[in-house]
Structure 1
Amino acid sequence: MVLGMFFPAALPRVLVRSTALVLAALLLVTGVTPGASAAQAREQERSQAAAGPSGRFTVATLNLRKGMRVPGMRHDIGRVLSGGASVIGFQERLFSRPALRASLPKSWTLLMPDGPTGTDDNPIAFDKDVWKLEKTWSALLTGKTWRRQTGRIAHDQYGVVAVLRHRASGHVIRAMSFHLPNHLHNRRTGGPNYRNRGGVQAMWRMSARVRHIAQDAPRPHQFVGLCDCNVTENRDTTDHLVKGRITRPLRLETNYSGRKGGSGIDYVMGERDSAFRIRSYRSYRHLVTDHPGIVATFKRKR
């Protein structure tokens, strides 16, 4: 900073120096680094604005329909973004990697691992202006599948995990996107559909793996599950399915257990023993895909 721009040369040097120190302190308080250019200052302000309030964050889960093109995905992603989502867990990607990347805003990153078939079915996307990525990996949930209609063995089933640090609050989440088997549920008894025993047993293996990944997280990290669980929440009445195998053992709160008389199968799950709790959620319908987009807002406990 050129002091001559602000102080006449006739002022005593001590006075000039002390006043400059006061100005530097004011710049630090306002979030502008001394010596930073105007462009850098604008970038700092933009990042801080994008991060939003430090006392909340919003995540979404969105199941994609096979064969969706960029305009349809942009429409559906835009709907959940209108609810404030800064993290989205996708399921059933089933289309090209470039198409999904092209459907996201420029400030977003897509975590879609390379590897064996199935590693990229459940990617996670997040806003880089809001979150900083610390770690990501694909987790094998089960090596056996549940295609009872054809009797064939499908590819292994993976979930995608991302450890994200919120830029404004410093809060860290371990987000996981996964998809459970279908035809799991006996709607008459509220328990497993044992006519699809292979699918039920695969779900049990996957649930055990999800529990391990959640329980393995460091204590300050909040586990957040983003799931197409394929079980209607108001009919799951035993300990053999999602409530008894995932949400209850992990003490997860979710739109799954919060809805009254609903019949959805897409859920955002959040760890109760955390500084942040789910305070509201919204279901976005009328999408191109055949599932609703679920958006949940977490707020800091008072």
Structure 2
Amino acid sequence: MVFGMFFRAALPRVLARSTVVVLTAVLLLTGVTPASSPAQAREADRSQAGAAGPSGRFSIATLNLRKGMRVAGMRHDINQVIGGGATVIGFQERLFSRPALRASLPKSWTLLMPSGPTGTDDNPIAFDKDVWELQKTWSVLLTGKTWRRQTGRIAHDQYGVVAVLRHRASGHVIRSVSFHLPNHLHNRRTGGPNYANRGGVEAMWRMAYRVRVLAQNAPEEHQFVAMCDCNVTSNRDTTDHLVKGRITKPLRLETNYAGKPRKGAVGAGIDYVMGERGSDFRIRSYRSYRKLATDHPGIVATFKRRR
């Protein structure tokens, strides 16, 4: 009698446990995790989307968006470089435009704007979340004493943003930064600094120093990548006082910054994508998009894994 009562009481618990075991086994076999949250499910989808893409290559763009551009124009220009394969874009000349710039990006993209006071230029970075995972980001003061383009007088500080991104397919990590150098920077006759714009030249030197620090402080496994409206044409920078001597040469960066481009390569301009040479990935090709609403070409650089 007592055994029968115990059996009837224990039977529901035994059946419930058996049901849980069977359901758990079915879920595991079908690849569904019962405890996964919606956020974890979205992250898994992004990882699968990134893994489905090419792990041996990626493309990065620099795009100077003229101040005052509306959403339609920005969206057109952004879609052009994204159509060229870009999954990271470094912008220049964006100021007080967070909502408009976010509205110009596809839904799968994230915009990283500098925090703190805005200055003559904020230099944000945007990236495709399906391809890249954000590991770390922070704002950086590029120069605390800069220039005003039209008058040459002292203006506000200039800020940038640094983004450490891991490629979801390959696991490759980049430390990226976008910046905008002063204009009227170099003497077109001598190829050196334009000392008539001494304030702009000194601001460039300060910015070059901070860019070098960002690159030199990066861990060895992180590839340093920079996107720049450098305001110096490559075939006229013939000294060690400007971009070639202060940024590309000391950091051993490869770039479309070349005086005599190869056939079919980008000509002498002022917009550059720069990548650290000592990496598993090297820049293999460039493409220039010129039919844009803005007054600068969009440059897309494709990085490929070394064989």
Q: TM-score, normalised by structure 1?
A: 0.84
Report if the CA contact (8 A) 2:257-2:268 is conserved: no
Distance 1:176 1:277 in 2: 17
Residues 116-265 of structure 1: pairs in structure 2 closer than 5 A: 116-118=117-119, 121-147=122-148, 149-257=150-258, 259-260=261-262, 262-265=267-270
Report if the CA contact (8 A) 1:113-1:120 is conserved: no
Q: What amino acid maps onto 2:81 in structure 1? A: V
Report if the CA contact (8 A) 1:233-1:256 is conserved: yes
The Cα shift of 1:45 comes to: 6.5
**Structure 1 regions of 5+ residues with no counterpart?**
1-19
Report if the CA contact (8 A) 1:113-1:119 is conserved: no
Residues 68-147 of structure 1: pairs in structure 2 closer than 5 A: 68-118=69-119, 121-147=122-148
Distance 2:87 2:124 in 1: 14
The Cα shift of 1:34 comes to: 5.5
The Cα shift of 1:41 comes to: 9.2
Kindly tell me: are residues 250 and 128 of structure 1, through their superposed partners in 2, closer, same or farther at Cα, counting changes over 3 Å? same
* Superimposed CA distance per residue, residues 190-214 of structure 1 (whole angstroms, 9 cap, x where no aligned partner): 1111111111111111101100110
CA RMSD of aligned residues (A): 2.6
Q: What amino acid maps onto 1:150 in structure 2? A: T
Structure having the higher Rg: 2
Kindly tell me: are residues 119 and 198 of structure 1, through their superposed partners in 2, closer, same or farther at Cα, counting changes over 3 Å? closer
Pairs aligned (count): 276
Distance 1:202 1:273 in 2: 28
The Cα shift of 1:44 comes to: 5.2
Report if the CA contact (8 A) 1:277-1:301 is conserved: yes
Secondary structure of residue in 1 paired with 2:166: strand
* Superimposed CA distance per residue, residues 208-233 of structure 1 (whole angstroms, 9 cap, x where no aligned partner): 11001100000000000000000001
Distance 1:102 1:95 in 2: 14
Q: 2:288 aligns with which of 258, 277, 283?
A: 283
The Cα shift of 1:66 comes to: 1.1
Distance 2:254 2:32 in 1: 45
Report if the CA contact (8 A) 2:50-2:132 is conserved: no
Q: Which residue of 2 aligns with 1:3?
A: none
The Cα shift of 1:121 comes to: 1.1
Distance 2:196 2:153 in 1: 16
Residues 286-297 of structure 1: pairs in structure 2 closer than 5 A: 286-297=291-302
* Residue 276 (structure 2) pairs with residue 300 (structure 1): no
Distance 1:41 1:117 in 2: 37
Percent of paired sites with the same residue: 82
The Cα shift of 1:160 comes to: 1.3
Report if the CA contact (8 A) 2:152-2:199 is conserved: no
The Cα shift of 1:262 comes to: 2.2
* Residue 38 (structure 2) pairs with residue 33 (structure 1): no
Q: TM-score, normalised by structure 2?
A: 0.83
